[in-house]
Amino acid sequence: MKNSYYQLYRFLLLSLLIVGCEPEEVYNTDTSQLTNENTEFYKNSNKSGITVNQEAPYGGRASHTSTIFNKKMWVTGGIESQTSFNDVWCSEDGTNWKIVNPSANFEPRYGHAMTPTKNSMWITGGMQGATLFNDVWQSKDGKNWVQTTANAPFSPRRFHSFTTFNGRMFLIGGRSQGTVNADIWVTDGTHWNLVTNFAPFGRRTGHTTVVYNNRIWVIGGLDQNNNYLNDVWYSDNGFVWNLATPGAQFAPRRNQGLTANEKGMWLTAGAGPNQNFFNDIWFSQDGINWEIVTHPKNFSPRAYHTSLHFNNKLWILNGFSFEPDTIFYQYIWGYD
């Protein structure tokens, strides 16, 4: 009987994460804020992975957002078990974290998206319980948040992406009530314009986007029919899109991490079919050819985490997995 209750709990929790929410999240960063000195990740490279902070002070969580802003790493929101957060944390080195705001003005949420601009951080959408959001929030310091739009023209959603590119912010896809979106929106933070209601890469949620090599990239995710994706798309302007590859070397997945610096793009972990969680790292200089990165110390398989490039390290922050048990990771990994 005890085992039956445990299996039921696992089923309900997975349903909450997949149906009710699909991160990130996406930590969509402007490559001008990233550094690449002495950072080499290539095929058969032998890089050391260390747990920089085994117990992050903000606790275990998934479906949060992270970004680089004002020479700091930031973590905002997310979920742990059935508790959603609206806290804001920052770190100058990835080891020492401080609470900036324990309860920001916006509602607790997970599956939201976050992006930095030159002077602000922006948050859109997400979910709490059965409530989806389409609000937009701005902060110049991480402590004080201002709602710029209470009801944006895009439908309430979660597990979309939100990326700063060429002085504008692009919102892409995600899951709304009863549907997976294929739309692209562009904004200056106040005015929103629909680029297209159906992008050439189709409907997807749990995908990731990043800016690299003066292009915006969309990778992987889950489509309307619950097909897992490993295609790679790019755009030079956010309006016209091109297919780099219909099937990259890494397995199809959703809710992976994606980050970049001037050397290339790194895709980390994610979830595949049948609750198959990954703990791999892939590197690409052109978006077409992807090479697996070898590292002696593997982090546990996970999805719903975030990845960043900061202070010459590749960072993997928190996440969720069923392996070996249901867990919301409190670990932060930093790879030299």
Number of domains in the chain: 1
Q: Work out the mean pLDDT of the chain and round it to a whole number.
A: 87
- C-beta of residue 56 within 8 angstroms of C-beta of residue 331: yes
Q: Which residue has the higher pLDDT, 247 or 35?
A: 247
pLDDT value, residue 60: 96
Tens of pLDDT, residue by residue over 224-238, are 999 999 999 999 999
pLDDT band of residue 49 (cuts 50, 70, 90) is: low
pLDDT value, residue 54: 67
Could you give the percent of the chain with pLDDT greater than 70? 83
Neighbours of 285 (CB within 10 A): 14
pLDDT value, residue 29: 29
Question: Would you say how long the chain is, in residues?
Answer: 336
- C-beta of residue 152 within 8 angstroms of C-beta of residue 141: no
pLDDT value, residue 214: 98
Q: Which residue has the higher pLDDT, 296 or 100?
A: 100
Roughly how many angstroms between the first and final C-alpha of the chain, as a whole number?
Answer: 46
pLDDT value, residue 55: 79
Residue type, 307: S
- C-beta of residue 308 within 8 angstroms of C-beta of residue 27: yes
Tens of pLDDT, residue by residue over 117-162, are 999 999 999 999 999 999 999 999 999 999 999 999 999 999 999 9
Please state the rounded mean pLDDT for residues 210-223: 99
pLDDT value, residue 17: 52
pLDDT value, residue 322: 86
Token readout for 121 is 């951080």
Tens of pLDDT, residue by residue over 301-313, are 999 999 999 999 9
Residue 78: pLDDT over 60: yes
pLDDT band of residue 325 (cuts 50, 70, 90) is: confident
pLDDT band of residue 259 (cuts 50, 70, 90) is: very high
Handedness of CA 154, 14, 223, 169 (dihedral sign): positive
pLDDT value, residue 22: 36
Q: In what order do the strands lie in the sheet containing 306-310?
A: 49-53, 332-335, 313-317, 306-310
- 137: domain CATH number? 2.120.10.80
* Domain around 71: 2-335
pTM value is 0.86
Tens of pLDDT, residue by residue over 188-216, are 988 999 999 999 999 999 999 999 999 99
Residue 175: pLDDT over 60: yes
Residue 52: pLDDT over 80: no
Please state the rounded mean pLDDT for residues 24-46: 32
Q: Cα(330)–Cα(80) distance, rounded to whole angstroms?
A: 10
pLDDT value, residue 205: 99
pLDDT value, residue 240: 98
CB-facing half-sphere around the CA of 318: CA atoms within 13 A: 30
